[in-house]
Amino acid sequence: MFPATNQSRLSLLLCFLAVSLVPPAARSDEPAGSNADSNRAELRNRFQAGLDEIRQKYDLPGMTAAFALPDGDVVAFATGMADQERSRKMTVDTRMLAGSVGKTFVAATALALDHDGKLLLDDKIEKYLGKEPWFEKLPGAHEITVRQLAMHQSGVADHVYDPRFVARARRLFAAPDSDPNQYFKPKELVEFILDRDSLFQPGKGYAYTDTGYILLGLIIERAAGKSYYDQVQTRFLKPLKLTRTSPADRLELANLAAGYVAKDNPFGLPQKVTTDDGAMRYNPRTEWTGGGLVSNPQDLVRWAKALYEGKALKRPYLEELIAGGDKSKKRWYGLGVSVAQTEMGMSYGHSGWTPGYLTLLSYFPAERVALAVQVNSDLRNDMLGAVMSLFNDVLQAVGSAQ
């Protein structure tokens, strides 16, 4: 939350979003061009000022944000710099790496393949990966199901936290003679967790693991006979007109904000993770189905509306997407979605981190409102909590106005 000195501005922000997010039927009947319209424009300006203040408070280079309203309209904002050294301003269309928010697309692709009969979520992964030479070394290999991978219930460890991965990544990304085109192939990532004990018996616990989603990507490609990126573009990006989203599978990514990391980051990257020409200094292709997309908040909130309102696939799927948790708890993980009981009710979404970038995506079904925020720095992840606290207050204002 903002400090006490910002309370008046915070009140204006809440008023702005209360006006913006209330469905048309619940708004004033005043005609276009009335005082209501001018007031709304003024409040929108105040909201922009509030974003500027967030950026300054947390010393962020820049950020973008967008809201998808109940009727589907999208309001977008930007503040700060997309590239501090080149004095390039952030715009509402600037893109950033979305990190693990990409898992929402991966799980949706697996669910779509289940609907098509090309895989079954409750199949054992042995059906698809059993002939791989490394399969017998995989912890829990013969017990894990596809669904358990998608829900982080496989018991498979996460290569991201393996010291050997960090050491090799540091050599790959930061050595003076390193080739920036190099990246870890999926099977190389899997190798980091082979010949280890399962964290728990498959289906009997929860442990977030990027490696599990790398395995899920291998299964998706094996079942469909097509690359994951081809599938996500055909199934979701093109039909939903998510034109600001594309695979993060190369060094040159159009309209990308420069990302910034800590000087002592574990991968030894320079503090600015893009070159003077705007190319990535490390190959984002390593992330693949652990995330693997470059995007923008406008696309992300449209995606949230489609996915969490049951419109992304032809057959009903929403109950299956968000199922699987202990309903007595306030948070659980469904199929590529974090489900949380907040003070304003249920929320669906995901967060994402990748060196130089932070992303947050949330959807509130009771209000049918989505929020996405991206920051071109991974230094201040505590800022995301402050943004969510602000948005919870906004939802309260929306609820009272309806």
In a domain, residue 262? The reply is: yes
Closest CA to 139 of 222, 94, 199, 220: 199
Q: Is pLDDT larger for residue 328 or for residue 57? A: 57
Is pLDDT at 161 greater than 70 in this prediction?
Answer: yes
Is pLDDT at 83 greater than 60 in this prediction?
Answer: yes
Highest mean pLDDT among 27-36, 46-55, 124-133, 317-326: 124-133
Looking at the 3D structure of the chain, how many domains does it have? Answer: 1
In a domain, residue 47? The reply is: no
Query: What is the average pLDDT value for the chain, to the nearest integer?
Result: 86
Q: Which helix (H) or strand (E) holds 342?
A: strand 338-342
Q: Given pLDDT bands bounded at 50, 70 and 90, which one contains residue 1?
A: very low
Q: Is pLDDT larger for residue 25 or for residue 98? A: 98
What is the predicted pLDDT for the residue at 21?
35
In a domain, residue 253? The reply is: yes
In a domain, residue 49? The reply is: no
In a domain, residue 36? The reply is: no
| Domain coverage including residue 331 | 76-401
Is pLDDT at 16 greater than 90 in this prediction?
Answer: no
In a domain, residue 251? The reply is: yes
What is the predicted pLDDT for the residue at 381?
66
- State whether the Cα torsion 318-321-327-331 is positive or negative: negative
Distance CA 184, CA 308 (A): 32
Residues 6+ apart with CB under 8 A from 333: 151, 152, 206, 208, 324, 325, 339
Is pLDDT at 11 greater than 70 in this prediction?
Answer: no
Q: Given pLDDT bands bounded at 50, 70 and 90, which one contains residue 341?
A: confident
Is pLDDT at 286 greater than 60 in this prediction?
Answer: yes
Amino acid code (one letter) for 78: A
Give burial (CB, 10 Å; 0-12/13-18/19+) of 238: exposed
pTM: 0.88
Partner residues linked to 331 by β-bridges: 340
In a domain, residue 4? The reply is: no
Is pLDDT at 395 greater than 70 in this prediction?
Answer: no
52-61, 90-99, 346-355: least confidently modelled range? 52-61
Residue 7: count of CB within 10 angstroms of its CB: 11
Domain containing residue 94: CATH number: 3.40.710.10
For residue 212, what are its two tokens?
Answer: 């599990």
Q: Are 316 and 323 in contact (CB under 8 A)?
A: no
106-120, 257-271, 327-341: least confidently modelled range? 327-341
46-50, 178-182, 289-293, 346-350: least confidently modelled range? 46-50
In a domain, residue 257? The reply is: yes
Q: What is the pLDDT of residues 35-65, one digit of tens each?
A: 545 644 655 666 677 778 888 989 999 999 9
Q: What is the DSSP string of 100-111?
A: GGGHHHHHHHHH
Average pLDDT over residues 267-279: 93
Q: What is the pLDDT of residues 173-208, one digit of tens each?
A: 877 777 888 999 999 999 999 999 999 999 999 999
Distance CA 185, CA 286 (A): 6
Q: Are 61 and 272 in contact (CB under 8 A)?
A: no
Is pLDDT at 325 greater than 70 in this prediction?
Answer: no
Q: Given pLDDT bands bounded at 50, 70 and 90, which one contains residue 379?
A: confident
